[in-house]
Amino acid sequence: QMQLVESGGGSVQAGDSLRLSCTSSEGTFSYYHIAWFRQAPGMEREFVATISQNGDGTHYANPVKGRFTISRDNAKNTGYLQMTGLKPEDTAEYYCAADSYYSGTRGPGYRVWGQGTQVNVSS
């Protein structure tokens, strides 16, 4: 089964930027819709963004719209989440997810998940 590995998290100041990466262990990466979710301590996991298999379709959660950009490079089997204008409320564990069927914002619809990467934003 395909495995996903996230990287790029860290501790930054409000207003800073980070780029998260999600790398697949398989060459079939291009067959999958990719999404990013996040979960803050004591909170439910929430949808952040999703991108279609060929990258021509994206969708964002309202709190990150205009600040975050999801993209992918299928030749590198890697998806990205570029985060700018980070706010303390963006602090969370960020997870990459994938599925060959479109699941949109629904977490349970994604069958493959990474282990997460922590993002901490201080004011």
In order along its 123 residues, the chain shows pLDDT tens digits of: 889 999 999 999 999 999 999 999 888 999 999 999 999 999 999 999 999 999 999 999 999 999 999 999 999 999 999 999 999 999 999 999 999 998 989 989 899 999 999 999 999
Place of tokens 């700018």: 84
Q: What is the pLDDT of residue 1?
A: 81
DSSP-based helix, strand, coil % in the chain, nearest 5: 15, 50, 40
Token pair, residue 5, equals: 């590995």
Nearest to 49 by CA among 115, 95, 11, 113: 95
Token pair, residue 61, equals: 């959660």
Q: Beta strand 10-13 with 117-122: parallel, antiparallel or unpaired?
A: parallel
Q: SS3 for 2-37, per residue?
A: CCEEEECCEEEECCCCEEEEEEECCHHHHHCEEEEE
Q: Report phi then psi at 55, rounded to 5.
A: 85, 5
